[in-house]
Amino acid sequence: MSFNIVKNMVDKNNLPNYILFYGSEEYFIDYSIKYIKSTYIDISYEDMNYVEFENTNSLKDYFEFSETFPFMSEKKVSVLKEANFLTSTGSLDKIDEDQLIKNMDSNESCITIFVIKDGKPDSRKKIVKKLKEKKAIYEFKRLNERELTNYIVNEFKQQNRSISMFDANYMANNCGYLEYESQVSLYHLNNEINKIISFIQERKKVTTADVEDLMIKSVESNIFKLIDYLCECNKENAFEILDEMLLNNTPEQFIIHMVVRQYRMLYQYILLQNKGYSYNEIMNKMNIKNFVARKLSIQSKNLNIETLEHYMMKFMELDRKIKTGEIDSRIGLELLISGIIK
């Protein structure tokens, strides 16, 4: 993990003076910057030795700051928060670029952190090439299921609380972080962790009930649960989870879309299974994460191709009626669920 590498370099005082952070896990980018700042900058002289630049269209102010000596400190730290001039869509004035390249070889009193939060560095650019030579480019990727589970365990541990791997994994798979193109970040997850800690107060052990009752479930997590109830023909619980989603202002059309999408995935899963594909082969073929494949494997046990094809026809007819105004989406949603559960 990039954060651990950066932390190790800081602890050993061998962090490059020019370093680039990019990637989709904003939390670890921010955390790395804070760690560098807290290590090198005395809070008493922060105004003199630390600055963040939001606008990088011109580097005039940055050069003025970085080229003066630190005050009562070994290092200054400057952060260029939108270093889009290092991407393929951005550019830098030739004079600024030449000056920056020159400084990268001579300025040892200021640590400069370039940050790209949207996009990635363009390896053709001179500055990027120089950073690459110095091994000073770090990508902060989103965590996978195992990493996220361990992260949850460690976050509770740091606050003198314990959670089982099972419950941590449940949180990881139901918070929405692992979903495709998810907007849920570690910031959101930390809020959920802190909410649970506030609720249990002095109690040290987090229980399954704490997680189940307190954590806000993602829409996809609720859809999985809804499909579970539909497969079990559990109408009461199916409508209960539906009401919960509607109370959370999830649009009816979106719920219909997600239910239909889930049944299409079940259809594809069973189709591949019938063709002799293994669990791992199906996962790769469908390009889905392990926890999604695991859910499909369980849900598919109560279904067959003929039943799913029947549902598909019903879904198409329902979609037509909603789009033509024959029925509204709320009634359509209730009909969809009632049609699946006989």
Top pLDDT among 215 and 153 is at 153
Identify whether residues 197 and 228 lie together within a single domain.
no
Q: Which of 214, 231, 264 is the last residue of a domain?
A: 214
**Closest alpha carbon to 29 in 201, 186, 159, 259:** 186
Contact 40, 74 (CB under 8 A): yes
In 60-205, beta strands by DSSP E: 76-80, 110-116, 137-139
Q: Identify the band that residue 219 occupies on the pLDDT scale cut at 50, 70 and 90.
A: confident
- What is the distance between the alpha carbons of residues 213 and 35, in angstroms, rounded to a whole number? 34
3-state secondary structure of 218: coil
- What is the distance between the alpha carbons of residues 265 and 244, in angstroms, rounded to a whole number? 24
Q: What CATH number is associated with residue 267? A: 1.20.272.10
Domain count, the chain: 3
Identify whether residues 42 and 152 lie together within a single domain.
no
Identify whether residues 268 and 329 lie together within a single domain.
yes
Identify whether residues 207 and 127 lie together within a single domain.
no
Q: What is the pLDDT of residues 16-49, one digit of tens each?
A: 999 999 999 999 999 999 999 999 999 999 999 9
Per-residue pLDDT for 225 more than 80? yes
Between helix 252-274 and helix 219-231 the angle, nearest 10°, is: 60
Q: What is the pLDDT of residues 117-145, one digit of tens each?
A: 888 999 999 999 999 999 999 999 999 99
Give the pLDDT confidence score for residue 342 in this predicted structure.
56
Identify whether residues 283 and 330 lie together within a single domain.
yes
Q: What is the pLDDT of residues 65-84, one digit of tens each?
A: 999 999 999 999 999 998 99
For residue 116 the two structure tokens come to 């790209």
Compute the average pLDDT of residues 174-181. 83
3-state secondary structure of 287: coil
Identify whether residues 281 and 202 lie together within a single domain.
no
Compute the average pLDDT of residues 146-161. 96
CA atoms within 13 A on the CB side of 158: 9
Compute the average pLDDT of residues 166-172. 93
Q: Is the dihedral of CA 287, 288, 294, 297 positive or negative?
A: negative
- What is the distance between the alpha carbons of residues 75 and 65, in angstroms, rounded to a whole number? 12
Number of residues that this document lists for the chain: 342
Per-residue pLDDT for 153 more than 90? yes
Compute the average pLDDT of residues 98-119. 92
Q: Which domain holds residue 179?
A: 145-214
Rounded to 5 degrees, φ, ψ at 154 are -70, -35
Identify whether residues 331 and 245 lie together within a single domain.
yes
Identify whether residues 81 and 14 lie together within a single domain.
yes
**Closest alpha carbon to 318 in 306, 298, 332, 299:** 332
Q: What is the pLDDT of residues 278-332, one digit of tens each?
A: 999 999 999 888 878 888 999 888 889 999 998 888 888 888 888 888 888 888 8
Per-residue pLDDT for 1 more than 80? no
Q: Which of 214, 238, 258 is the last residue of a domain?
A: 214
Give the pLDDT confidence score for residue 341 in this predicted structure.
58
Identify whether residues 175 and 284 lie together within a single domain.
no
DSSP 5: H
Give the pLDDT confidence score for residue 71 in this predicted structure.
93
Q: Which of 85, 109, 139 is the last residue of a domain?
A: 139
**Mean pLDDT rounded to a whole number for the chain:** 90
152-179 burial: b if 16+ Cβ within 10 Å, else e: bbebbeeeebebeeebbbbbbbbbbbbb
Q: What CATH number is associated with residue 210? A: 1.10.8.60
Q: Identify the band that residue 147 occupies on the pLDDT scale cut at 50, 70 and 90.
A: very high
Q: What CATH number is associated with residue 73? A: 3.40.50.300
Give the pLDDT confidence score for residue 151 in this predicted structure.
96
The two most distant CA atoms of the chain are separated, in Å, by 77
CA-to-CA dists, residue 114 to 15, 77, 97, 111, angstroms: 14, 11, 14, 10
Contact 96, 58 (CB under 8 A): yes
Identify whether residues 231 and 245 lie together within a single domain.
yes
Identify whether residues 268 and 188 lie together within a single domain.
no
Identify whether residues 286 and 310 lie together within a single domain.
yes
Can you spell out the DSSP letters for 157-177? Answer: HHTT-B--HHHHHHHHHHSST
Q: What percent of the chain has pLDDT over 70?
A: 99
Any idea which of 77-91, 188-202, 242-256, 262-276 has the lowest mean pLDDT?
Answer: 242-256
Q: Which residues contact 243 (CB under 8 A, 6 or more apart)?
A: none
Q: What is the pLDDT of residues 156-167, one digit of tens each?
A: 999 999 999 999
